[in-house]
Chains A and B, each alone.
Chain A
């Protein structure tokens, strides 16, 4: 166990920045989990793979528009287009999955849709493997939009936007955090004020009662999946922009982190998902930074287990009242 780095501001800020960026990503994925769980009490294990498909769709869009080394359009509209394409594709995919793999299992024991979700996950992962191959695909985000990409000159995404105490904060990191924050605000407003949002809340409280009140629960559930998957697609593109490499297995890993974040934050709660995501991201970043690879993962688990033991329904989860 090496702890050689005394507290210095530069390291702390670097880790803080990475942690917040990573945490935003996890939070977005966690949001999808939480929303679906809130409405259906279902752990959608295929969610991570929807995120992976979003990342690939973003990559595909990038390729269609010239590829990372020689894009046909300016970088700002390019990124917007990638986001839109990925979000749309993921949203639709989420709706299709719900319709075919989960709707028939609405009244089945809770573990059946879990296995169905696993089946969908295997199917999506390996379909991606079949269609795209096992090789990593790169967004080349480090040099995206740069004047001299072959000379490894950093593009505008990774050029530092500000510098705080020697720590570079990159444009892409700001984009990720800002987009996540705005998506979250939009979602909160939607759920609180819009009609569909109210319908979603009603359906998650009591599906039968909502149906009796004239709410089309099928449509509400489909919308929930659409929004949740849309967010996952956005997260996928963000991952590509931050870390360049997309591969068929990435959904599995990220899905686990997102699921962890959702539960730790209080599953079913939207601000909880975001908070959980930030917690997981910061814990990972600081543990890896201060403790090094051998013990960092275990420390993160320890922190999260501690949080759950102290607050058994997650940070912002509501205590479930059991009706007799």
Chain B
């Protein structure tokens, strides 16, 4: 019997620990059944406020998701360094794009976490899709720096809850298409989508506009995440194609594609979307990239390079920094009297009005309230003065439009 005692005891201890741990794991303070947090629940702000961050930190999209998480946490670090009376704490959920099952679990958990007042993310449009129901039920505002599918705002189902600090597909697309057509005067263009949600939306829009204007458009498709040998794709682009529009997210892959084109002696120039704006990885001279009209040498970017960036600027995550700023400001306003509800925070997010001088992405941050044209509630009001950059001979990004 004594021999059996120890295994039995330890099994009991393990089970109890498990039960206690899972019971308190969600961060809720009550170990017994905790009341569901809704948007009317009054939360004591206290000195440290919690900011939820949902990003794909591991998995196939880790190279870009981790950038977003780092930039968002950088905002928290800067805030904490410059404020004495109040602090923020980042609660990071790993959504493991492209597996949306993780995204919904993160959403459920962050929504149930009674300390979290507002959230940044999720990163992917399909993640926003699955996270909407739990986040709405929890009443929590979520601001994304990278979910660009137009219907997310224009279908009106997320009004007041979902916001984004990045222009949607139907804003970015025409900007690029018009530049290619009118400024570059190209008549033979290829469009390559990356077989993901972000990419196909932009590709369809640009392709449609160009075709309507009489430009010859060859549409191709490649699995950006899984491919490293782009020579076959490059071989499919005829030598007389003038430019190739690649709305991808992995700058190193775009670099590889460009190299493959060069190795085959093809002269087509690459035109990237905001996902490819990465001076450290995508450096093919003569290429164009569209991105926010920012100052590349701003103090924030330099500070990031010196700090978490480890020498790199990782600008894919910059919109997440802005998103953190939007949510953080709203939480501060709501917590001015010591307590806040999530509904209050949502209201303040909706009423955000950050002038261009204080924004980090070169736009004034103000959110659309009612649908107009391609903008839906939650989109930024600033029209698509997205910048167009050209990569110089030395790999430097220069703004040309």
Establish whether A and B are touching in the complex (CB under 8 Å): yes
Q: Footprint of B on A, CB under 8 Å?
A: 2, 4-5, 11, 14-15, 18, 22, 126, 129, 133-136, 138, 142, 150-152, 154, 158, 160, 166-168, 170, 239, 242-245, 247-250, 253, 284-286, 288-289, 292-294, 296-297
Q: In the assembled complex, which residues on chain B have CB atoms less than 8 Å from the CB atom of A154? A: 262-263
Q: In the assembled complex, which residues on chain A have CB atoms less than 8 Å from the CB atom of B285? A: 151-152
A244 in contact with B256 (CB, 8 Å): yes
B236 in contact with A289 (CB, 8 Å): yes
Whether, in the assembled complex, B17 has its beta carbon less than 8 Å from a beta carbon of chain A, the answer is no
Interface size counted on chain B using CB atoms at 8 A: 43
Q: In the assembled complex, which residues on chain B have CB atoms less than 8 Å from the CB atom of A244? A: 252, 255-256, 259
Which residue on A lies nearest to B314, using beta carbons?
A135
A126 to B66, CA, bound (A): 14
Which residue on B lies nearest to A163, using beta carbons?
B265
A79 to B101, CA, bound (A): 43
A302 to B194, CA, bound (A): 22
CB < 8 Å neighbour of A138 from B58, B221, B252, B314: B252
CB < 8 Å neighbour of A292 from B220, B255, B264: B220
Q: In the assembled complex, which residues on chain A have CB atoms less than 8 Å from the CB atom of B253? A: 245
A22 in contact with B229 (CB, 8 Å): yes
Whether, in the assembled complex, B235 has its beta carbon less than 8 Å from a beta carbon of chain A, the answer is yes
Taken residue by residue from 253 to 287, chain B's Cβ proximity to chain A (1 for < 8 Å, 0 otherwise) reads as: 10110010011110000000000000001011100
Instruction: Given A136-B252, A138-B252, A152-B395, answer yes or no on A239-B259 (Cβ-Cβ < 8 Å).
Output: no
Can you offer 23 A-B residue contacts whose CB atoms are under 8 A?
A11-B235, A15-B231, A18-B232, A136-B250, A138-B255, A151-B393, A152-B284, A158-B259, A242-B229, A243-B228, A244-B255, A244-B259, A245-B228, A249-B62, A284-B232, A286-B232, A288-B236, A289-B232, A292-B220, A292-B221, A293-B195, A293-B220, A294-B221
B274 to chain A, nearest CB (A): 18
Whether, in the assembled complex, B382 has its beta carbon less than 8 Å from a beta carbon of chain A, the answer is no
Q: In the assembled complex, which residues on chain B have CB atoms less than 8 Å from the CB atom of A133? A: 66, 310
A253 in contact with B252 (CB, 8 Å): no
CB < 8 Å neighbour of A135 from B63, B221, B232: B63
- 9 A-B pairs besides A152-B393, A293-B223 with CB distance below 8 A are A134-B65, A142-B262, A151-B285, A154-B263, A168-B263, A285-B229, A289-B235, A293-B233, A294-B221
CB < 8 Å neighbour of B252 from A151, A239, A245, A248: A245
A150 in contact with B220 (CB, 8 Å): no
Whether, in the assembled complex, B60 has its beta carbon less than 8 Å from a beta carbon of chain A, the answer is yes
Q: In the assembled complex, which residues on chain B have CB atoms less than 8 Å from the CB atom of A249? A: 60, 62
A218 to B294, CA, bound (A): 62
A136 to B60, CA, bound (A): 12
